[in-house]
Structure 1
Amino acid sequence: MRLHNSDMAQQYQAKGYWADRLLIDFLEAAVSRTPDKLAIVDDRFGPVTYRALQERVWRLAMALHQRGIGVGDRFILALPNWQQAPTIMLALSYLGAIGVHMPVLGREHEFEGVLRVTGARGIIVPARYHGYDYVAMIDSIALGHEVLELKVAVAPESSPPGWIDFEALVEEADTAIPDRAWRPGADDITSVLFTSGSSGDPKGAVHSANTLNAFNATVAPIYGFGPDSVIFMAASLGFSGGLIHGPRLAIYLGATLILQESWNAEQALQTMAEEGAAFTLFTPTLLHDLLESEAFPEYGPRLVLQLILCGGANVPRHLLRLARERLPNTLTSVIWGMTEGIGTACRIQDSPEYITGTDGKPFLGTELDILDPAGERLTPGVEGELIMRGPQRFLGYFGRPELDDEVFLPDGWLRTGDLGTIDSAGYVKISGRRKEIIIRGGANISPAEVETALSSDPRIRQISIVSVPNRRLGEQLYACIVPDQTGLDLTLDDLKQIAEQAGLAKYKWPEHIQIVESLPMTPGGKVVRRVLQEQVHAVFVSDE
């Protein structure tokens, strides 16, 4: 792990960014202040108060302890936006165990990778979700991971062999209060948040309670959020943005969190209007759907939103201008950041030109700079690679020390892989990505990962995946294929079938295909992706 040096740690503690408290300490403080206040409301399982949440968390922690889960054990959480996700996250904290967070949309390929990297002893998934059988999928890969001992399913119709129902597990506890001696320190590993790397291998960003709480401590004061703020979250809790700015922020504040299980713009508008939501986080796709919803004329004027942060992908400037026009009393700003650390956003007092034309300025305690290819600092306004350091900076990649060497710089700085500029006033403009990542609907997708999975089909001699623009999703995957035989008719449906058989999550499937005679190559035999991208964009006609 790459710990923050002692001088920076003392500075973060002195300024209150690191409080040396666990998330469960904030939970207990909220219970003490307002035990009967609603903590979480989800549209599948209903509401739970802070007192009831703590009681369920305690019982679940004791049940997990009785099942052998303890300090340092990894436990995979892959759930929809249901209250069970924060419940088990908090229970694991009482035991000093490590929550491993990944999107529920994953399939065999993604789950196998996370299991392999983490050696997780436990896992929790929905029994079925959107018609997909998660129990059968996990069973199909679990034989290769003998360390996986505890498999928990939420809402199973029956009791699958080798699995336990979440509610039955909660009821197993003999006693109700976990031993305080099991609690970890605030600098110990508490979470591993998985994200896609440019190589396609799973990357687990390691965080402590201090680094995760700093995401909230450096953002909430800027916008005046407190226990009376209502937070609405439709972004997936399996991604860092949804998790950190949803349940973690709500519990940090002692506020109420409203969860939406599956995205529906009309329902989101109605819920936020009726519940008085003050803050939400959207991807550009979700924000687009909201502003264009047929229900917006009815519910839009009733919204009392103070802040919409929009991130996870490149946010079109026209979308920010539209949001400003249709929600004039709400600050809608880009949030720039990564699972590894954040970040920037605009402030309420910023001019419209900054709000719609930049990616904001650093959050409290966050330092940013720009490097040229030789690693030298650049002057304001000159494009280069963005580097950051701050109290939210992660501690390294779980089990991947070779990746740490690629991103960490001396004195606690982190290479972000993003290209951009910083002006003389400190405002950032992101101009591109140094690494080859496609961001579709807010989800990071590695072209290399998709290419590796699809190239296993003997009909494909070469394949390269590039991105094409999409108004709603931001980017889509475009597959350029050199077939094994001249004249071979390989269709998009064929490609989707190959992707499904390879176990790729559906959001990683190509949505466009082009059969080509050859790909642009370097003398060393590597695809020149930039040239291919330009060729595709020259002929691409959007299907929107």
Structure 2
Amino acid sequence: MTWISRNGIEIRDLVPADLRRRWVERGDCPDRDLYALLRERVRAHPGREAVIDDERTLDYAGLDREVRRIAAALSGAGLGPGDIVGIRLPNGWRALVAELAVVAVGAVALPYPAGPGSRDTRSLLGRSRATGAIFADQEDAAVAAELPHLREVFTFGSGSLDEAPYEHSWEPSPIDPEAPARILVTSGSQAEPKMIAYSHNAMGGGRANYVRALHRGDDPMRGLLLVKTATSYGSCAVVSLAALGSTLILADRFDAAEVLRVVARHRPSHLFGVPTMLRRLAEQPAAPEEDLSSLQAVVSSGAPLPEVTAAACRQRFGCQVITIYGSSDGINCHTARTGEVPGTGTPDPAVADIRIVDEHGADAPAGEIWARGPMTPLSYVADAELDARYRTADGWVRSGDLGTFDRHGRLHVLGRLKQVVSRGGYQISPAEVERELSAHPAIVDVACVPVPDADLGERMCACISQAAAAPELTLADITDFLATERGLEPRKLPEYLLRLPELPLAPTGKVCRRTVTAMAAELEKETAR
């Protein structure tokens, strides 16, 4: 299948059509569009809480009323099938309503995180040739004049969508479940953000299946989402509503003490965050009125979870800690079924099958992680080079990660194929060193990055943040720990140490390696003087 936008953007499905049909017949994909799935939830439980944020609570009937109101406004402006609509809104009910309204009219949603500056707006809406956009910030709206394909701009707050009337006459039209529904955005290692298109079936099927597997029991999940709904990780929000009938509790800004108060107030079953957030929550002193008994699981994704943070969360929250290995490119594996044993869980064929292959694409004991299954995306948007690099002719996604399976079928991620430090002709995996350093009780966050070296090409710098009460570590301390207690070979030991109060984060919640690498390079220059 090939979908072509009104402005000539071509999105091809790189998975064979017979496989897509097999996943539908197997029951792994619903064969219905996301808004049709939401309407089923509305009919089944109109009074159930759907979205809770700082401003208001919407039940499913109220959520649908808002979605239909915004959908009518979009449709009235001529937006619908063939259009891509950018969405840049803070976390909250409006962001979810906007995305659901866009897909309800048959257009493709392109959410991306709110924040200062308009560079992402220019890049994403320009390269996708978006016809419409929904903004909260007037700075973004002002960019519209620079984007020739952007025809309709809506704003919340003081603008048009808050005042849009409810149109009883608007009704959705049939939508192909294999057509694109959402474009996920990720910075990755590219100069500009990557855009990956997902169909309604991949979102309401494969992605929903992974979220469903995180929950146990007959009661619906109540998820407290600390990450932005516009991120890849945050895309679980819309599928939790449309496909699963969950209750979502949203936080626009992260404050550890307030998050714990929200847990006591709204009693979520699951808390979704990135490792840095979870560490800060675990370190937060208990308040007299604290009640965390509703939590079934704390869910971590976006970056590897250090052992010390996982242990602290289990002790602090008294519940399961689930780690997710995944990416917006179409990889997913988690530990919901395997518990605290080593590894990143076992693959779920209802989400994605996983293979380990060598450089020739043949199955191997250790090698690159490939994935393909009901959650596999269609293709990259406006980037044939990325399709050629990360997709195979039969639809597999090349992760760029190294991995292996143990004898129990559990996946172990060993590092990045290209994220290496080349020291005197020897390739060192930063992920391996980070994994071992994360076991140090005084280290709460770590990133290992290369610094240029005239003699050896590159040397490794360990960038760490420490627990507040821990004694300050030296380079000798960490190399001794790695060599003596973790058994790391001498050639893999870091040769620089950069201590920071907190490691800088990208909007996705992951450590921003570009920033850390630049800081480490400055440290090397100062050391050389």
Shorter-chain TM-score category? 0.7 to 0.9
Question: What's the CA shift for 1:267?
Answer: 1.5
- The residue number in structure 2 matching 1:259 is 250
- Equivalents in 2 of 1:391, 1:403: separation in Å? 21
The alignment partner of 2:253 has SS state of coil
- Equivalents in 2 of 1:74, 1:266: separation in Å? 39
The alignment partner of 2:178 has SS state of coil
State which of 67, 71, 82 in structure 2 corresponds to 1:72: 82
State which of 274, 292, 298 in structure 2 corresponds to 1:302: 292
- The residue number in structure 2 matching 1:95 is 105
Distance 1:469 1:390, change over 3 A: farther
Question: What's the CA shift for 1:196?
Answer: 1.5
- Equivalents in 2 of 1:208, 1:225: separation in Å? 29
Distance 1:63 1:137, change over 3 A: closer
The alignment partner of 2:394 has SS state of helix
Alignment pair present for 1:510 and 2:515? yes
- Equivalents in 2 of 1:293, 1:227: separation in Å? 29
Amino acid at match of 1:63: A
Question: What's the CA shift for 1:322?
Answer: 1.9
The alignment partner of 2:146 has SS state of coil
Alignment pair present for 1:412 and 2:395? yes
- Equivalents in 2 of 1:467, 1:124: separation in Å? 41
Alignment pair present for 1:116 and 2:126? yes
- Equivalents in 2 of 1:73, 1:420: separation in Å? 39
Deviations 1:483-533 (A, max 9, x none): xxxxxxxxxxxxxxxxxxxxxxx97983664677xxxxxxxxxxxxxxxxx
- Equivalents in 2 of 1:77, 1:225: separation in Å? 34
Answer with 270-279 or 83-92: which moved more.
270-279
Distance 1:61 1:251, change over 3 A: same
Question: What's the CA shift for 1:226?
Answer: 5.5
- The residue number in structure 2 matching 1:235 is 227
State which of 174, 177, 181 in structure 2 corresponds to 1:190: 181
- The residue number in structure 2 matching 1:27 is 38
- The residue number in structure 2 matching 1:166 is 161
- The residue number in structure 1 matching 2:154 is 152
Question: What's the CA shift for 1:359?
Answer: 1.4
Distance 1:509 1:143, change over 3 A: farther
- The residue number in structure 2 matching 1:278 is 269
- The residue number in structure 1 matching 2:485 is none
Asked whether the equivalents of residues 14 and 394 of structure 2 are also in contact (C-alpha less than 8 Å), the reply is no
> Where does the alignment leave 5 or more consecutive residues of structure 2 unmatched?
1-11, 421-429, 432-446, 450-458, 468-510
Question: What's the CA shift for 1:105?
Answer: 2.7
Asked whether the equivalents of residues 100 and 193 of structure 1 are also in contact (C-alpha less than 8 Å), the reply is yes
- The residue number in structure 1 matching 2:26 is 15
Asked whether the equivalents of residues 73 and 161 of structure 2 are also in contact (C-alpha less than 8 Å), the reply is no
Distance 1:177 1:191, change over 3 A: farther
Deviations 1:459-506 (A, max 9, x none): xxxxx999834469xxxxxxxxxxxxxxxxxxxxxxxxxxxxxxxxx9
Answer with 428-437 or 7-16: which moved more.
428-437
- Equivalents in 1 of 2:512, 2:122: separation in Å? 17
Question: What's the CA shift for 1:13?
Answer: 1.4
- Equivalents in 2 of 1:418, 1:198: separation in Å? 13
Deviations 1:92-144 (A, max 9, x none): 12211110011113632222110221111222222xxxxxxx312541x3332
The alignment partner of 2:134 has SS state of strand
Alignment pair present for 1:392 and 2:375? yes
- The residue number in structure 2 matching 1:498 is none
Deviations 1:400-439 (A, max 9, x none): 1221111112432110111222112121121212245999
Distance 1:239 1:296, change over 3 A: farther
Asked whether the equivalents of residues 227 and 254 of structure 1 are also in contact (C-alpha less than 8 Å), the reply is no
The alignment partner of 1:358 has SS state of coil
- The residue number in structure 2 matching 1:50 is 60
1:413-452 to 2 correspondence within 5 Å?
413-436=396-419
- Equivalents in 1 of 2:384, 2:199: separation in Å? 17
- Equivalents in 1 of 2:169, 2:308: separation in Å? 52
- The residue number in structure 1 matching 2:8 is none
The alignment partner of 1:223 has SS state of coil
Amino acid at match of 1:82: G
Question: What's the CA shift for 1:91?
Answer: 1.2
The alignment partner of 1:253 has SS state of coil
Question: What's the CA shift for 1:371?
Answer: 1.9
- Equivalents in 1 of 2:194, 2:241: separation in Å? 26
Amino acid at match of 1:331: Q
State which of 468, 485, 493 in structure 1 corresponds to 2:463: 468
- Equivalents in 1 of 2:370, 2:418: separation in Å? 14
Alignment pair present for 1:207 and 2:198? yes
Distance 1:343 1:515, change over 3 A: closer
State which of 348, 369, 379 in structure 2 corresponds to 1:363: 348
Amino acid at match of 2:168: A
Amino acid at match of 1:188: A
Distance 1:334 1:107, change over 3 A: same
- Equivalents in 1 of 2:387, 2:209: separation in Å? 25
State which of 316, 323, 328 in structure 1 corresponds to 2:306: 316
State which of 280, 289, 292 in structure 1 corresponds to 2:283: 292
The alignment partner of 2:259 has SS state of helix
Amino acid at match of 1:393: T
The alignment partner of 2:380 has SS state of coil
> Where does the alignment leave 5 or more consecutive residues of structure 1 unmatched?
127-133, 157-163, 440-444, 448-463, 473-505, 517-534
Q: TM-score, normalised by structure 2?
A: 0.76
- The residue number in structure 2 matching 1:344 is 333
- Equivalents in 2 of 1:316, 1:199: separation in Å? 26
State which of 122, 136, 139 in structure 1 corresponds to 2:139: 136
Distance 1:109 1:435, change over 3 A: farther
Question: What's the CA shift for 1:217?
Answer: 2.2
Answer with 301-310 or 66-75: which moved more.
301-310
The alignment partner of 2:515 has SS state of coil
State which of 240, 245, 258 in structure 2 corresponds to 1:249: 240
Distance 1:40 1:177, change over 3 A: farther
Distance 1:105 1:295, change over 3 A: farther
Distance 1:251 1:297, change over 3 A: farther
Distance 1:225 1:4, change over 3 A: farther
Question: What's the CA shift for 1:378?
Answer: 1.1
1:449-460 to 2 correspondence within 5 Å?
none
Aligned residues: 437
- Equivalents in 1 of 2:147, 2:466: separation in Å? 41
The alignment partner of 1:70 has SS state of coil
Deviations 1:175-221 (A, max 9, x none): 3243343x321100111111114231221100011001121124414
- Equivalents in 2 of 1:273, 1:21: separation in Å? 36
Identity %: 24
The alignment partner of 1:510 has SS state of helix
Question: What's the CA shift for 1:37?
Answer: 2.0
Amino acid at match of 1:64: L
